[in-house]
Amino acid sequence: MTSSPFRRIDQQLFAQVSAEARQHPRLRLNHNFHREQDSVQRFLNVLQPGTYVRPHRHRRNGSGTGFECFLVLQGAIGLLLFNSEGEIQEQLHLSAKGPTHGIEIAEDQFHTLVALEADSVIFELKQGPYQPAQDKDFLNGFPQEGKPEATRQEAQWRELLSESGLA
């Protein structure tokens, strides 16, 4: 049996992963194209409104290797950039419909994602290999996932993005 020389990234895959994300307690789910040990991480991240992504940054060994690149393939995502004190420095609206479809975030930049539409699908690219214990440096002052405070925080961010016309 020969494996396919390519992997299809299509609406059927979006629908499958979106359905799984709706059932997942975190309301989001990754579909990895990479293996943990690969030097480049490539994956779909499907987010549903209500998912809480704790503000974090990425740091890697080697200058310039902590970047993260997002491209919205379906739906819309709000991206919040924070300073080290937890203050929002910038709000961005990323949408499959444009005008901004994606962004590359520099190393050491604290950020979070807020799902603005159901079944939002983003393609992510970042330096590997994936090391779960070292992948994220969380910003102090924000609740951990799964806490009632996290649910309230996510709702506040979605409201903020709606009020600013980004949602």
CATH code, domain with 60: 2.60.120.10
Q: Could you give the percent of the chain with pLDDT greater than 70?
A: 93
- Is residue 5 domain-resident? no
- Is residue 6 domain-resident? no
- Is residue 36 domain-resident? yes
Number of domains composing the chain: 1
Q: Could you tell me which residues come within 8 angstroms of residue 101 by beta carbon, excluding any fewer than 6 positions away?
A: 71, 72, 94, 95
How many alpha carbons fall within 13 Å on the CB side of residue 25? 3
Mean pLDDT throughout 94-113?
95
Cα-to-chain-centroid distance, residue 27: 12
For residue 41, is pLDDT > 80? yes
Q: Which domain holds residue 133?
A: 11-163
- Is residue 51 domain-resident? yes
pLDDT score recorded for residue 1? 47
Residue 114's pLDDT band (cuts 50, 70, 90):
very high
Mean pLDDT throughout 110-119?
97
Q: Is 67 exposed, middle or buried (0-12, 13-18, 19+ CB in 10 A)?
A: middle
Q: What is the pLDDT of residues 16-28, one digit of tens each?
A: 999 999 999 999 9
Task: Return the ∠ at Cα 108 (arms to 96 and 120), rounded to 5°.
Answer: 20
pLDDT score recorded for residue 134? 66
Q: What is the pLDDT of residues 85-103, one digit of tens each?
A: 999 999 999 999 999 999 9
